[in-house]
């Protein structure tokens, strides 16, 4: 049976903020009396995540993704509901729990700016109480996969964004945590670095059964890494399924992409369908009812027919527009 590593039920979190009145008069009024407002960032979220899963946490800006990660990592304390990560409430910040999770906020580095990355790693080694032999073995392996050996003694301020991110990933993973939370892990990186990080995370996940929870605005991160997506909107969970199920759910029914040999589709012309030409040889047809009957491809001068499945980016923009 699959092991649950994260379980939340009816999880809620709200921030308290203050209303800001407009103009000079407003600022002066705020100075004497400020109106409190409550921002419900996480609303009644139920979520179960199993060991070894890679879950993409998606949502538009301000949806509540970072807040959820902060709750799961014990940075924030829930207002109500239940939350259990590796069997305990993360906010209790038990040593055992902290040693078993890794957190990376893509926009905030934990590397010490003026020192080489190795110095940060030695400091973390002591904090996480990792033996020298395990440390050396893991660092060697991670540096190999991410191609970092030559930069390990360069002061962090002289490293490129991609090099820093890779070292930050090493800091997050060298002590082999069971769960890794990655908030925008590839932000600002070029395609090669992104690909290298995808490969690296997949390898770590496969080899060590590390559970990975990631947020990203790069659809490629999600497509390459996540098997499952959890979509959050205005603090609520809207979808929770595999990418394949999401594609099926949002698939335009009875829609096909047809590649013709000569750029014609005479036999298919029918008032019961909409035909649009994508390029010289490719057409998209959508039937009003029924399904496409079997066709002799050769006779019909057709190279291929496939069901039209929208890509993840289209699906997500549709979902985000809806909510």
Ligand X SMILES: Nc1ncnc2c1ncn2[C@@H]1O[C@H](COP(=O)(O)OP(=O)(O)OP(=O)(O)O)[C@@H](O)[C@H]1O
The two three-digit tokens of residue 274, written as one number: 């909409």
Examine residue 17 and tell whether it contacts ligand X (CB under 6 A): yes
Are 271 and 208 within 8 A, CB to CB? no
Q: Which is nearer to ligand X, 58 or 173 (CB)?
A: 58
Q: Which is nearer to ligand X, 39 or 244 (CB)?
A: 39
Question: In whole angstroms, what is the distance from residue 110 CA to residue 219 CA?
Answer: 25
Residues 38-57 that bind ligand X (CB under 6 A): 39, 41
Examine residue 233 and tell whether it contacts ligand X (CB under 6 A): no
Question: In whole angstroms, what is the distance from residue 48 CA to residue 72 CA?
Answer: 12
Examine residue 188 and tell whether it contacts ligand X (CB under 6 A): no
Contact with ligand X (CB under 6 A) among 64, 106, 162, 185:
64
In the complex, minimum distance from the CB of residue 112 to ligand X, in angstroms, rounded to a whole number = 25
Number of residues engaging ligand X in binding (CB under 6 A):
12
In the complex, minimum distance from the CB of residue 39 to ligand X, in angstroms, rounded to a whole number = 5
Are 232 and 65 within 8 A, CB to CB? yes
In the complex, minimum distance from the CB of residue 223 to ligand X, in angstroms, rounded to a whole number = 18
In the complex, minimum distance from the CB of residue 217 to ligand X, in angstroms, rounded to a whole number = 7
Are 225 and 56 within 8 A, CB to CB? yes
In the complex, minimum distance from the CB of residue 63 to ligand X, in angstroms, rounded to a whole number = 4
Q: Any residues with CB less than 8 A from the CB of 156 and at least 6 apart, and which? A: 109, 111, 112, 113, 114, 115, 116, 117, 120, 164, 167
Are 72 and 222 within 8 A, CB to CB? no
CA-wise closest residue to 235 among 53, 10, 37 = 10
Q: Which is nearer to ligand X, 63 or 173 (CB)?
A: 63
Contact with ligand X (CB under 6 A) among 9, 10, 15, 160:
15
In the complex, minimum distance from the CB of residue 58 to ligand X, in angstroms, rounded to a whole number = 9
End-to-end CA distance of the chain: 35
User: DSSP H helical segments within 47-116, as ranges?
Assistant: 65-72, 95-99
Residues 67-106 that bind ligand X (CB under 6 A): 67
Residues 195-224 that bind ligand X (CB under 6 A): none
| Residues engaged in binding ligand X (CB under 6 A) | 15, 17, 39, 41, 59, 61-67
């Amino acid at each position: 049976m699959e092991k649950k590593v994260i379980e939340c039920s009816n999880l809620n979190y709200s921030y308290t903020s203050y209303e800001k009145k407009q103009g000079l008069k407003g600022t002066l009024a705020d100075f004497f009396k400020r109106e409190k407002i409550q921002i419900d960032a996480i609303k009644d979220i139920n979520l179960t995540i199993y060991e070894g899963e890679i879950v993409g946490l998606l949502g538009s800006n301000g949806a509540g993704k970072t807040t959820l990660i902060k709750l799961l990592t014990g940075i924030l304390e829930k207002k109500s509901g239940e939350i259990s990560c590796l069997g305990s409430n993360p906010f209790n910040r038990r040593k055992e729990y902290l040693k078993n999770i890794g957190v990376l906020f893509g926009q905030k580095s934990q590397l010490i700016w003026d020192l080489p990355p190795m110095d940060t790693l030695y400091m973390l080694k002591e904090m996480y109480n990792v033996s020298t032999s395990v440390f050396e073995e893991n660092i060697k392996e991670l540096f190999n996969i991410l191609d970092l050996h030559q930069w390990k003694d360069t002061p962090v301020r002289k490293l490129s964004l991609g090099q820093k991110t890779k070292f930050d990933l090493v800091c997050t993973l060298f002590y082999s945590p069971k769960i890794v939370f990655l908030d925008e892990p590839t932000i600002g990186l070029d395609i090669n670095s992104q690909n290298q990080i995808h490969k690296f995370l997949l390898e770590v996940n496969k080899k060590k059964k590390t559970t990975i929870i990631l947020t990203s605005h790069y659809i490629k991160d999600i497509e390459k890494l996540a098997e499952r997506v959890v979509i959050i909107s205005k603090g609520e969970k809207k979808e929770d399924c595999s990418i394949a199920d999401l594609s099926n759910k949002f698939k335009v029914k009875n829609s096909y992409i047809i590649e013709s040999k000569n750029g014609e589709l005479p036999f298919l012309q029918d008032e019961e369908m909409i035909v649009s030409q994508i390029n010289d040889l490719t057409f998209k047809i959508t039937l009003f009812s029924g399904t496409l009957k079997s066709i002799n491809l050769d006779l019909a001068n057709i190279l291929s027919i496939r069901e039209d499945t929208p890509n993840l980016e289209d699906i997500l923009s549709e979902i985000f527009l809806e909510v």
